[in-house]
């Protein structure tokens, strides 16, 4: 029983909406990319993809003119559309993870060797680090805070 009582025919072999992958799978993959860039989780995207396939089936029965290809999807095609959406989501998450890691390394602290040279008390290592221009000096206040008074200084 259809909600709108207007049954649409099922796609036949060779038509759009019949095979596992068809041109509309690209649209589903692009939607998956968009949802992935919005940082939705995998179960939310899966729910949206499956939910859309159900809603699409009902809407094609009610308003077939609203769709470019009004024939009903086969079960195989609906599964392919969900897989395409998840593949697009996965690709977007990989891209976002790579982009985030690149941004994090640009703004991160100096590498381990430079960090070690920055905070050393050995003047030769400090001079070597500053000669290369890769390590900035600590602020004067930080240097004074770590300064130990000599034995001739006044006791506190």
The whole-angstrom distance between residue 109's C-alpha and the CA centroid of its chain comes to 23
At residue 100, the pLDDT reads 78
What pLDDT shows up at residue 55? 93
Q: Is residue 13 part of a domain?
A: no
CA dihedral 137, 143, 148, 154 (to 10 degrees): 140
In a domain, 72, yes or no: yes
* Residue 118 lies in domain: 112-137
Residue 128 domain-assigned (yes or no): yes
Same domain for 82 and 31: yes
Answer whether residue 98 is part of any domain: yes
Grade residue 115 by pLDDT with cuts at 50, 70 and 90: low
Residue 4 CB-half CA count within 13 A:
12
**116 has a pLDDT exceeding 90:** no
Mean pLDDT for 123-137 is: 56
Cα separation, 130 vs 143, in Å, equals 16
**Most confident of the following: 29-33, 65-69, 115-119:** 29-33
Task: Give a yes or no: residue 127 inside a domain.
Answer: yes
Residue 147 belongs to a domain: no
Q: What is the tally of structural domains in the chain?
A: 2
* Residue-level pLDDT at 5: 62
What is the pLDDT at residue 31? 97
Mean pLDDT along residues 81-97: 95
**Arithmetic mean of pLDDT over the chain:** 78
Instruction: Let me know whether 100 and 84 are in one domain.
Output: yes
What confidence score (pLDDT) does residue 15 get?
A: 84
Do 39 and 61 share a domain, yes or no? yes
Q: In this structure, are 101 and 35 located in the same domain?
A: yes
Q: How far apart are CA 109 and CA 99, in angstroms?
A: 18
pLDDT band at 122 (very low <50, low <70, confident <90, very high): low
In this predicted structure, which of 17-21, 134-138, 144-148 has the lowest mean pLDDT? 134-138
Same-domain status, 74 and 119:
no
What pTM does this model have? 0.62
**Do 35 and 45 form a contact (C-beta atoms < 8 A)?**
yes
């Amino acid at each position: 029983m259809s909600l709108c009582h207007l049954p649409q025919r099922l796609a036949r072999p060779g038509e759009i909406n019949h095979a596992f992958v068809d041109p509309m799978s690209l649209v589903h993959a692009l939607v998956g990319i968009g949802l992935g860039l919005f940082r939705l989780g995998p179960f939310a995207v899966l729910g949206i993809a499956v939910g859309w396939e159900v809603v699409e089936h009902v809407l094609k029965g009610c308003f077939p003119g609203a769709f470019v290809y009004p024939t009903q999807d086969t079960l195989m095609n609906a599964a392919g559309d969900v897989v395409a959406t998840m593949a697009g989501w996965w690709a977007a998450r990989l891209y976002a993870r790579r982009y985030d890691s690149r941004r994090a390394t640009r703004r991160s602290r100096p590498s381990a060797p430079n960090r070690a040279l920055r905070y050393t008390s050995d003047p030769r290592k400090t001079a070597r680090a500053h000669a290369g221009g890769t390590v900035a000096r600590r602020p004067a206040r930080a240097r004074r805070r770590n300064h130990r008074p000599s034995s001739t200084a006044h006791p506190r």
